């Protein structure tokens, strides 16, 4: 129901506080770290059951031309729990200055109708 989905979105938004960039699959969140420092995340206000990145994430001091594969989302600046890995699309390499920008991450809580067809 909508109330349950809104609660799920609110709990996620409150828990996803930091982002880390990875050069390949993050595994449990600790593999292939491209930039050691996590960036604080600012989310939009929840609209019904969805929210999105409010301001872009800027990762610096990467290897110019190096790969950027995914962003993991954490509840702490160091250590903590990894709750999501978001695969990147588009131009997935650091620029010539070693910077990489993440401009969009969207979350939408949905449900599906699970019926028994047997």
pLDDT band at 111 (very low <50, low <70, confident <90, very high): confident
In order of 45, 81, 86, 105, the CA distances from 108 in angstroms are: 13, 21, 13, 10
Which whole number is the average pLDDT over 75-100?
95
Phi/psi at 7 (5° precision): -65, -40
pLDDT band at 109 (very low <50, low <70, confident <90, very high): confident
Which whole number is the average pLDDT over 47-74?
94
Which whole number is the average pLDDT over 42-51?
90
Q: Which residue has the higher pLDDT, 70 or 111?
A: 70
1 has a pLDDT exceeding 90 = no
In this structure, are strands 106-108 and 82-87 parallel, antiparallel, or unpaired? unpaired
């Amino acid at each position: 129901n909508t109330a349950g989905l809104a609660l799920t979105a609110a709990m996620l938004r409150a828990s996803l506080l930091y982002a880390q960039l990875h050069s390949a699959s993050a595994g449990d969140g600790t593999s292939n770290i491209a930039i050691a420092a996590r960036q604080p995340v600012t989310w939009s206000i929840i609209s019904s059951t969805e929210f999105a990145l409010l301001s872009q994430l800027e990762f610096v001091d990467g290897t110019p031309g190096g790969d950027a594969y995914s962003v993991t989302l954490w509840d702490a600046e160091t250590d903590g729990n990894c709750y999501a890995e978001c695969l990147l699309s588009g131009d997935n390499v650091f620029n010539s200055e070693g910077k990489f920008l993440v401009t969009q991450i969207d979350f939408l809580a949905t449900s599906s109708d699970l019926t028994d067809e047997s």
